[in-house]
Every structure is written in structure tokens, then in C-alpha cells.
Amino acid sequence: MKGIKTLALGAGLGSLLLSAAWAEGLDGKVIGFSQIGSESGWRAAETSVTKAEAEARGIDLKFADAQQKQENQIKAIRGFVAQGVDAILVAPVVATGWEEVLTEAKEANIPVVLLDRGIEAPEDLYLTSVASDQVVEGRVAGEWLVAAVGDKPCNVVELQGTVGSSPAINRKQGFEEALAGKDNLAIIRSQTGDFTRSKGKEVMEGFLKAEGGGANICAVYAHNDDMAVGAIQAIKDAGLKPGADILVVSIDAVPDIFSAMATGEANATVELTPNMAGPAFDALQAYWDAGTVPPKFIITESKLYTPTDDPQGEYERRKDLGY
Amino acid sequence: MTRPTIDLRPTTQPPYPRARPIHAFFTRPQVIALIAVLLVNWMLFPGFFTITWQDGRLFGSLIDVLNRGAPVAILAIGMTAVIATKGVDLSVGAVMAISGAVAATLVSSGVSAPVAVAAALGAGLLCGLWNGILVTVLDIQPIIATLVLMVAGRGLAQLVTEGSIVTFSDPVLVFIGTGSILGLPTPVVIALLLMIAATLAVRRTALGLLIEAVGVNRSAARFAGLSAGALLLIVYTFAGFCAAVAGLIVAGDIRGADANNAGLWLELDAILAVVIGGTSLLGGRFSIPMAVLGAIIIQAMNTGILISGFSPEFNLVVKSAVIIVILVLQSPLSARMFRGRSGGNSGKAK
Amino acid sequence: MAEEMAAPGGRPVLEAQGIVKIFGQHRALDGVDFTAHAGEVHALLGENGAGKSTLIKILTGAYQPDEGELRLDGTPIQLRNPLHGQSFGIGTVYQEVNLLPNRSVAENLFLGRQPTRFGLVDRAGIVRRARELLARYGLDIDVRAELSEFSVAVQQIVAIARAVELSGKVLVLDEPTASLDRNEVERLFDVVRGLRADGLAIIFITHFLDQVFALADRVTILRNGTRVATQPLAALNTTDVVRMMLGKDMAFEHHPSALAGGPRGAVRVEFKGIGRKGMPPFDLAIHEGEVVGVAGLLGSGRTEVARLMFGVDAAEGGEVRVDGEAVSVRNPAQAVAAGFGFCPEDRKLDGIFGDLSVRENIIIALQAKLGWFRALNHEDQIELAGRYAEALDIRAASHDMPVKLLSGGNQQKVILARWLAIDPTFLILDEPTRGIDVGAHAEIVRTINRLREEGLALFVISSELDEVVAYSNRVVVMRDREMVAELEGDAIAPEAIVEAIAGTTREARA
């Protein structure tokens, strides 16, 4: 248990304490970071964690907010190249159109690391990419549910992310993989909640009405925590107890799901770590110090949190990260 | 003397303020559309019309339609007046986010709820006034003028919330979003009161006629001695106020201000509701109750899709198909065809 | 067929026989015959509602007749739409230039059928051919410049050139002169005469009888959907034509001397030193029961004076007095508060609320004056609208119908009614009879006289001198944005006014 706690610490802001130990190697390095923007709480947390990680390692981080525009990112990268930074981190807003600017960086001999999203470009244009595996996230959530219900029959309703988005597709796929072959579990309804609380609540309301006021529903799986928080309210409004009458499992591990967990209203969440920069910096350090070429894809851990993982403590640790 | 005996009435009767016989109400395309959508919902889900009494409030899918439709209905009330002046307000979604952000941030920093609500409404009024000033004083086209706040407003809301979802448990705000009055959800009651108040305000005074006059021909309105500027300021400010009310409801509903998503794209739903309600984007004749009906039609469709069990990939396709049918039903062409057919029938009967 | 006299030109090109067109219960056209010959200008006259525009729409393909037959060069044709009509050689030029103002003249001429070279638009070719084409119309302009840079007259000629290029057999001119001044009209007429000499059949619709006599060879007169006559104009005079159009003897009451020296009341409104940038200050006092007529060419500053008086353009300096009291007229709302009314020149743009009802159009100024909270109730509105509609003989099937469905003359009367409803002290009428048929025209002239008799002060701008003479106590002549002459009493006569305008104009041009 102690080991798990330590790991949990490492995943959040606490990881600073660990990573600070081997930080000297990057001290004084100048690294540019082109962030997409601040369209979600997770994104804001990623930004603040990246800044904290850089500070702990003595990195001079040049931060550029692209406000959801690729042209701004391209401009920022050109700016970084012109400034002669040591490395560039990019969280790409779209998958295509990067060849030219990344070639410029490559010609200037500046390694580029992609954060949390992939791109369609020759692999030699970037050093590595750090991202979570969304299918695994879905699978971890599904496996938890399979274990939690055991042999009991269980009707699951699913709150999908925005239709056609890759997290929605992949988290659905992973979850279905985990449920495959378990005849006692069935996904009876699946609708999009657009990753938002209010849509999550509205859709859950509809599900509850359509399924005998919730009597037929044993669990809700939400593609993100925000929709789960909305669903929890809908369940309460319908006079049921979330977490007991209807199990709630979701993905992301934002602070509010931990406070729900602390009061027993949510049962499990799978972390999408905002710390993409930590592994990126580690890879850069290994690359510069020992010439180790990292794998093209560094997958972050998809860690499961349940009420036994000190949800109140997790909430406190995360609430100031900008979620 | 021979007076022209030709009937020169327009082929489509625009919404008209005066009382009409009940049967005329039920033959309006909007009412037919609403009934049709509700019946389809009932076929998809037999319990659709079931309403029960639970925990001191009405409970059922039909109530959900009204409750979920309330924010767009409230936006549509303000939007109707704006569109009647030949304008449009794209910023209402962003203003919702601002209003929610202001209220949530204030109550979570210890300010009392009435003050927070007043501040949120004040923020909405200011946003509306800003739009009005851009449109009247600087004479910027409404679609551009309000686009400014549509883009900047959400950023403003994010600044207020510092990018995170500010949650609260203040009973007053929660009541606005999820409470009930006489068994009806608070948002429904608020929308209803606002609709009645706005309708009386425009029809019991000369505001409605003057708004229509400005919308039909702003230049002629000026020549007729109307102060179009003051009128436009009021109309845009009112739209901002409505957006603030809707923003409070949405924030109260999820007990948090989600600056990124609150009211996102709802301006388009509101515009659609107004158009379904028969108010032309070219300005002029308008009807606030019909726009509210339009919002309910849209929500009835959304709820229907939710309970239908269709895969969500079909949502937009189904929605747009239904909307096309409604808009075609209200087009002058179909009105003519309808008229022609019914005329023919009565001819045969004789 | 007895009255169908031989045309001076030659063979019939476009023939319509027994045309019937029914809208609802109403027979807009009831068995009308019409023939346009090659090499003639054939005027089509009739009051609004006579069936003129319906006939034109059938001849050009915009409407399909319910009965009757169209023949082109003796062959029966059925036109599906104006484009189809165009392909048969029937082109139309409307009052409002129907081209793209922000494209070049050359592009406008060849739009939709650009000459191409190797599959690409041949720009040089377009410019060359446009130049050649316009040269035939005596027009030597930069065809690469945007159309909007040229005067309406030039734009009209470009529109005609395009229509003739596209069609080339029949040219329909639908009120082409409504927005042109005298010189421009002459220029347009020269072009039309040239086309007539080339053997085109030209159908000419206008409200100006003098233009009909100046240009047309034959005239067809419609009344209530039937043809009254088709005759060579040489055999007719104005009175004949008006009589046939109206079915009764009718002409303007030409008795200016009756007004000369007549009693007039105290000064009602007084403008002192009213002016603004580009408009030199003017002084003018108008008395109770007085009509001040304004004459002058387009662009002489007539409309600008009216706009200053009504606060549409705010005056820079100067003062306005009503019954001796200084009032502020910085905007139309203040003007209305001061009891002023203004019937603007451009009825459609500045006057009517097309989608609002006749009733609402009548009460709107009064309601604006009363403010937002003193709403006229429905009964009051009905009463007011009814009273003024009757007083001005506004013909509408219902006062609830949109005003845009009324004829131009009735729309003008609605605007007049709107101002009478505020019980005005001073009325400004800018071209009150423009684009209005003869009957309504005479009615409006009579109404102006009646209002004067009731003690109103009026300021009336008109291009029609006969009309100005018929109702003015005083005539102000404008040139180059200044009031250059004032005629009173016996001095008021069309010739005198023309001299006042022309004398100075010639000087200015010399």
C-alpha cells in the first residue's frame, strides 16, 4: 500500500519531489513550450504542472499559448528556433500541417517532443511523443467495473465524449474490450454528453427516465469526470444514491471527482496525468547526457483511483493545479 | 364606386400580436411540429407523457423537456427582440458563461447570494449595453459587433474563473438551477414569467410596434421620428440580461461555472428557436411566445434523441432533418400549396 | 382591329393576342391585344392597376398568361421565365439599374457569356469589345472602371447595351427615366432613337407624358385590364391621352393666378442661417396657408435643404423658429416634436415600412411622437387610419394588409396620412408625385391645395413645373446648392422657372 501511495504522489504535483532529485542535468537549459490553449481544466493543469516541472529542474521554460490556432503554434515554434532554444515541447492542436516547421527545427538541430497528441508527419521530425493510451484508460475503467460487480448482472449506461473525437472513440473501445465476454454486463444505452457537466446531467436524466427511473441501471461509465459529476447530480435528483444504487466510473481524475469519491458518490476514476512534461524532460535528459534515443511513443501510466486511495488528499493535492 | 375586390392578403400570415381563435393556433406549423415531435417521442418511449409527483415536484420526460429547454427559451426571448430589429446577438452564449462565472466566483469567495446574482445580472446588462453601443453608436453590423463579445466573452469568463470549473453549493444559486416552485422546476417558472413580462412589455406599450418598424426599415424609422438608437440599446441590453439569467440557471444546474462550456453554441439554438417561431432574420414582425415554442420544439427533439437509444452519431442528422421539415412547413411556398389544396377541397365539397 | 393602325416601322415582331391573366378572383388582364413592330417605339400607358406591369411581365416571360397567345415573328411562343424570353430576343431594362455596381462596365456587359480564349476569360477581348459596343451608343468611357463610378444615365445605357446585345429583337424599357435629369433623359432618348433606326421593336413604359410624346411613335393605353386604344401619337394630344387613361376629363388645375396676392397668414416656420458643410446657409420663412414650391435640377441642393429643415442632416449653426418660438431641430425626432412632417423622395427606402400594415404605417409617426409608453390602442389606431385613409382616399383592400402591396400612389398617400395624423404645423414634401400614375398624381396635387387652404405651411419639391405652378404661392429656384431666385404671384409660370434654372445653368456651363 505504501508503494501505491508513493506512486500516487508521484503522479500529481508530488512528482516534483521525486524528479527534483535528478534535475541537475537540465539546469540552465532553455526549452520552448507551445501549448494549445486553456480550453479545459485538464489543459490548464497540464500547463501549470509543466511549468512546475521545468522550475524544479532549473529549466528556463518559454511558454506560448496558441489559443487553439495552429498558425499561432507554428509562429511560436519559429520563434523558438530563432531564439535558439535547446528543445521544443509542442501540444499540437491538429494532426496535420507540421512538416515544414518541424523540418526547420530539425535543421536547426533542436529536438522536438510532442505532448499528449500525435501528428501525421515523418517520425524523424520529432524526438518522441508523450501521451496516454486512451484505449488503456477505457480498459482500466472497464476492468474495474467487471471486478466490482463480480457475477451479478449489471446494465451499464455510457456517457460518450464528443462524437467522433479520438478520446471518445478510444475510451469506448477500451471499455468494451474489458467487458467483452462478460455476459452479466451489458451496455444498454450510450449517448454523447459532449464532455460537459450540463450535457452529462441532461443525458443521464434522459437515461434514468427511459430506464424505469433508474431501476434498470447498475452503473454509469462516463468518458470524462465532468460528465460523471453531472450524472451524479442527475442520479441524486431522481432520488437515487450515486455510488451505491448506481455505480459511477469515469476517466481523467480531476479534483471534483475526488470530492465526490470522498462522499461516496463516485466509485472509480482513471487518471489521465497532466504531467506529460516530466517524462518528456526525462527523455531529453537521457538523450543529451547519454545519447539515449527514446522510443517514438512514451505512454504515460493510466492509474486507477478508488475511494481507498485517499480521495480527500488527492482532491487537496490537485485543486490548485488549475483544473 | 368600384373598390378593388381582390384579396391582397399575404400568403403567409406573419405572427400577429392580437388574439386569434384557438383552432388557428393549432394549425400553425410550429404547433403542429411540436405535437408531431412529442408524438414521435411517445412512440419511441411509451412513458414519455407520464408525469409523477416526487419529492414535492413534478417529475417526467415532459417536465425535462421544459426544464432543459428553459435556458434556450430565455435566450430566445431576448434574441427575438434583437432579430426583430434586423440584428442578431451571437454573444449570448458567452454572456451566459460570464454571468455564471461571476455568480459562482462571488459566492465561493463568501459574498451573499443575492449580491452575487445581482452582480451576474449586472454583468449581463453591461455586456448587452456594450453590444448595443457597438451597434448604435459605432454603427457596426450586429453580426460583427456581437462576434467580438462571443469570442472575447468566453475568455473573460475564463479569466474570472481562472480557467477552472468553480463549484459552489450556495442554496440560492442551486435553487435557481434545480429548485422547484409549485411543483414546476425553477428554470421553467423563470422562463414563463420572463416570457409573459417581455410579451406584455412589448405589446402593452408601443415598444413592439417601434421595434418592428426599426427592423423593417431603419431609415424610414428615422424619418418617422423614431429614436432607433435608444431602442436598439434597450433591445441588446435586454438580450444580455436574458443571457445572464440563462447563465445563472445553467450554473445553478451543475452547481458550478464551466466557463469553457456554459452556453457553448446556445446562441445558434436561440437563433434557430426564433426562426422556427416565425420571426424573419430580415427583421420586422416578431412573436416572443412563438420563439419560446421554437425553443421547446428544439429541446423536445433533443430529449427525443436522448431517450430513443439511437447511436449519437445520428443526433445531428436527425435534428437537422426535423428542422428542415419545420422550416419548409413555414415557407411561403408550402403555405401557398397548403392554401391551394384546402381551397380545392372545399370547392369539391360544394 | 380597326384602331390597330399601321405602324411607321414595319412588320410586327412581338404580338400578344387575347391575353388573360387572373390573380385569385381578379382579372388583371382581360383579353388584351398588343403588337410591337420593328423600328417603332411603342409606349404603354395606364394608371396603376390598369394591367401595365402584368402585361409587361407576360411579354418578357416573368408571368405566363392564363389565356391568349404570344407570337414572335409570327411563330407562337411560350415563355417560361425572363431568361427564356431573353433567349428569344426579348430584353428588359428596369427603372433601377439591374447590374452589378462593383464590377467593371465591361464585365457587366459580358457577364455570364464572357468571351474566352483557350478556356480562360479573355480580359483584353472583353475590354475591346465593350469599347466597340458602347461606342455605338456614343459612350466613350473607361470600361474597366467600376459601374458604380458612373452616373445613373450611363448605367442605364450600359444596361440597354447589354439587353440589346443579349436579345436584339424587342427591348422593353420599364420606367428607365425615373431617376434621370433632363439632359440625361435626352441622351437616353438619342440612344433609343438610334436603336429604333436599327429596326428594334421598343416598348416604352413611363409616367411622364411629355416623354411619351417626345419619343414614342404609337401608344397603347390600358385601363382596368383591358385595352382602351392603340394609336399613333401624331394624332393625339396630352388631353386625349389623359382622358383615355382615366376614362374621364382630367387635368391639373392650372390657375396659379388664383393664388396670387391671396391672403396668407402669419409666419409659421422660419429658418435662419441653416446650413452645413457643402451646403451654404439659407434663410426662409414660410407662412400659414402657404405652399413654397422648390424647383431646380437634380443635384441643385433641393433635397439637401429639405433634409436640413427636418434635421435628417444636423445643421451647423443657424436657428429654427415655429410661430416665433425657437426650437431645436437636430434630428427627425425633434422635428416631429416640433410638428414637422417629411415625405421623403425615396418612398421605398426612407418612407414606407413595407411589411407593416397600412394602419401601422399611418399611426407610426404619431406613436413615435407619443413615446413608448403611451401606446395607441387598437381601436384608436383603427379610427385614425380609417379617418385619414378616407380623407386621402387611400385604396386598400384592408388596413391590415402590408403597405408594400399598395400601388405607389396609395403608398405616398399613406405617408401623407402618417404626417397628417400628428396634426402638423409644417409639411415637407420631396417629389410627392414621383413614380405615381396620372390619377393619383392629380389627387396629390389637389390634396396639397386642400392642406394649404386648411392653413398648413408646406415646402414642396418637384421636378414637374406644371405641378409646381399649380400649387405654389411662392417658388424658390435652386442652383448649385443656393436659392438663386424667388418667384411670386403672377411671376410664377413654367417658362419663368425654366428661365431661372436654365439662365444660370447655361452661365455655369459656359
CATH node for C12-246: 3.40.50.300
Model confidence pLDDT, tens digit, residues B101-146: 999 999 999 999 999 999 999 999 999 999 999 999 999 999 999 9
Beta strands in C88-241 (DSSP E): 90-93, 116-117, 120-121, 170-174, 201-205, 218-223, 226-232
Residue pair C309/C274 in contact by the 8 Å Cβ criterion: yes
Q: How far apart are CA C109 and CA C126, in angstroms?
A: 9
> In the structure, what pLDDT confidence band is assigned to residue B349 with cuts at 50, 70 and 90?
very low
Query: C353 contacts in B (CB within 8 Å)?
Result: 212-213, 216-217, 220-221
Q: Which of B165, B258, B312 sits opposite A191 (nearest CB)?
A: B312
How close, in Å, is residue B337 to chain A by CA atoms? 38
Query: Tell me, what's the pLDDT at C25?
Result: 62
Residue A65, classed as helix, strand or coil, is strand
> In the structure, what pLDDT confidence band is assigned to residue B182 with cuts at 50, 70 and 90?
very high
CA atoms within 13 A on the CB side of B218: 15
Domain borders along chain A are 2-132+274-302, 134-271
Query: Tell me, what's the pLDDT at B63?
Result: 94
Query: A208 contacts in B (CB within 8 Å)?
Result: none
Query: Tell me, what's the pLDDT at B157?
Result: 94
C12-246 and C268-339+426-510, same CATH topology: yes
Query: Which residues of B lie closer than 8 Å to A, measured between beta carbons?
Result: 45, 47, 54-55, 59-61, 64, 68, 158, 162-165, 167, 178, 250, 253-256, 258, 260-262, 264, 302-303, 306-307, 309, 311-313, 315-316
The answer to whether residue C437 scores a pLDDT higher than 80 is: no
The answer to whether residue B279 scores a pLDDT higher than 80 is: yes
Higher pLDDT, C309 or C240: C309
Say if the Cβ atoms of B261 and A233 lie within 8 Å: no
Query: B220 contacts in C (CB within 8 Å)?
Result: 349-353
- Subunits with at least 3 CB pairs below 8 A relative to chain A? B
Residue B267, all three cell numbers: 446562441
Q: Which of C25, C364, C398 sits opposite B224 (nearest CB)?
A: C364
Q: Do chains B and A touch (3 or more CB pairs under 8 A)?
A: yes
Query: B221 contacts in C (CB within 8 Å)?
Result: 353, 364, 368
Q: Which residues pair with C279 in a beta bridge?
A: C276
Query: Tell me, what's the pLDDT at C184?
Result: 80
Q: Which of B158, B165, B306 sits opposite A38 (nearest CB)?
A: B158
Interface of A with B in 248-287 (CB under 8 A): 256
Amino acid present at A218: C
Q: How far is CA B349 from CA A44, A142, B27, in A?
A: 71, 67, 21
Nearest in space to C293 (alpha carbons), one of C489, C475, C165, C430? C475
How close, in Å, is residue B43 to chain C by CA atoms? 41
Q: How far apart are CA B226 and CA B212, in angstroms?
A: 12
Query: Tell me, what's the pLDDT at B97?
Result: 97
Q: How far is CA C369 from CA A81, B208, C315, C339, in A?
A: 67, 15, 21, 9
Q: Do chains C and A touch (3 or more CB pairs under 8 A)?
A: no
Query: A189 contacts in B (CB within 8 Å)?
Result: 309
Say if the Cβ atoms of B206 and C342 lie within 8 Å: no
Q: How far apart are CA C184 and CA C298, in angstroms?
A: 11
Query: Tell me, what's the pLDDT at C161?
Result: 86
Q: Which residues pair with C21 in a beta bridge?
A: C29
Model confidence pLDDT, tens digit, residues C356-411: 999 999 999 999 999 888 889 899 999 999 999 988 888 888 899 899 888 888 89
Taking each helix axis from N to C end, the angle separating C408-420 and C438-453, rounded to the nearest 10 degrees, works out to: 10
How close, in Å, is residue B286 to chain A by CA atoms? 30
Say if the Cβ atoms of B212 and C49 lie within 8 Å: no
Query: Tell me, what's the pLDDT at A150?
Result: 93
Residue C489, all three cell numbers: 404671384
Residue B346, all three cell numbers: 372545399
Residue pair A116/A298 in contact by the 8 Å Cβ criterion: no
Query: Tell me, what's the pLDDT at B319?
Result: 85
* Mean predicted lDDT score pLDDT of chain B: 87
Residue C82: count of CB within 10 angstroms of its CB:
17
Q: How far is CA C248 from CA B4, C206, C413, C433, C439, in A?
A: 19, 20, 22, 20, 10
Domain borders along chain C are 12-246, 268-339+426-510, 354-423
* Mean predicted lDDT score pLDDT of chain A: 89
- Residue A35: phi and psi, rounded to 5, are -90, 150
Residue C37, all three cell numbers: 413592330
Q: Which of B64, B163, B315 sits opposite A205 (nearest CB)?
A: B64
Q: What is the DSSP letter of C258?
A: G
Q: How far apart are CA A139 and CA A173, in angstroms?
A: 8
* Mean predicted lDDT score pLDDT of chain C: 83
> In the structure, what pLDDT confidence band is assigned to residue C42 with cuts at 50, 70 and 90?
very high
Residue C19, classed as helix, strand or coil, is strand
Amino acid present at B36: A
Q: How far apart are CA C408 and CA C348, in angstroms?
A: 9
Residue A154, classed as helix, strand or coil, is strand
The answer to whether residue C508 scores a pLDDT higher than 70 is: no
- In the block, cell 501511495 appears at A5
Query: Tell me, what's the pLDDT at C114?
Result: 65
| Percentage helix, strand, coil for chain B under 3-state DSSP, each rounded to 5 | 70, 5, 25
- pLDDT under 70 in chain A at which residues? 1-24
Residue A287: count of CB within 10 angstroms of its CB:
17
Model confidence pLDDT, tens digit, residues C275-294: 988 788 999 999 998 999 99
Task: Tell me what ipTM this predicted complex has.
Answer: 0.83
Class of the domain covering A134-271: alpha beta
Query: Tell me, what's the pLDDT at A218?
Result: 96
Query: Tell me, what's the pLDDT at C119?
Result: 65
Q: Does CATH number 3.40.50.300 belong to domain C268-339+426-510? A: yes
Residue pair B263/B97 in contact by the 8 Å Cβ criterion: yes
How close, in Å, is residue A94 to chain B by CA atoms? 19
Residue pair A110/A147 in contact by the 8 Å Cβ criterion: no
Residue C461: count of CB within 10 angstroms of its CB:
25
The distance of Cα C52 from the centroid of its chain, to the nearest Å, equals 15
Q: How far apart are CA B26 and CA C264, in angstroms?
A: 61
Query: Tell me, what's the pLDDT at A46?
Result: 92
Indicate the fold that domain A2-132+274-302 takes in CATH.
Rossmann fold (3.40.50)
Nearest in space to A280 (alpha carbons), one of A83, A57, A96? A57
Q: How far is CA B41 from CA A126, B25, B316, in A?
A: 52, 22, 16
Query: Tell me, what's the pLDDT at A23?
Result: 43
CA angle C501, C275, C508 (to 5 degrees): 30
Q: How far apart are CA A247 and CA A219, in angstroms?
A: 4
Average pLDDT over residues C184-189: 85
Q: How far apart are CA C491 and CA C493, in angstroms?
A: 6
Residue of C327, C328, C353 best to disrupt the B interface, most CBs of B under 10 A: C353
How close, in Å, is residue B67 to chain A by CA atoms? 10
Q: How far apart are CA C383 and CA C365, in angstroms?
A: 15
Nearest in space to B202 (alpha carbons), one of B210, B213, B192, B194? B210
Query: Tell me, what's the pLDDT at A17?
Result: 41
Query: C405 contacts in B (CB within 8 Å)?
Result: 8, 10
Average pLDDT over residues B291-308: 92
How close, in Å, is residue A251 to chain B by CA atoms? 17
Q: Is residue C109 within a helix (H) or strand (E), and if so which, with residue range? A: helix C105-110
Identify the closest residue of chain B to C307 by CA–CA distance.
B223
Nearest in space to C340 (alpha carbons), one of C355, C352, C322? C322
Query: Tell me, what's the pLDDT at C405?
Result: 86
How close, in Å, is residue C335 to chain B by CA atoms? 7
Could you write out the DSSP letters of every residue in A84-129?
Answer: T-SEEEE--SSSSS-HHHHHHHHHTT--EEEESS--SS-GGGSSEE
Nearest in space to C351 (alpha carbons), one of C319, C295, C379, C310? C310
Query: Tell me, what's the pLDDT at C118?
Result: 66
Query: Tell me, what's the pLDDT at A20?
Result: 44
Model confidence pLDDT, tens digit, residues B6-51: 333 333 334 444 445 667 777 788 898 899 999 999 998 888 998 9
A2-132+274-302 and A134-271, same CATH topology: yes
Which of these ranges, B66-70, B320-324, C284-288, has the smallest mean pLDDT? B320-324
Residue pair A61/A73 in contact by the 8 Å Cβ criterion: no
Query: B223 contacts in C (CB within 8 Å)?
Result: 310, 312, 332, 342, 344, 350-351
Q: Which of B4, B9, B226 sits opposite C368 (nearest CB)?
A: B226
Query: B216 contacts in C (CB within 8 Å)?
Result: 353-356
Query: Tell me, what's the pLDDT at B16?
Result: 43
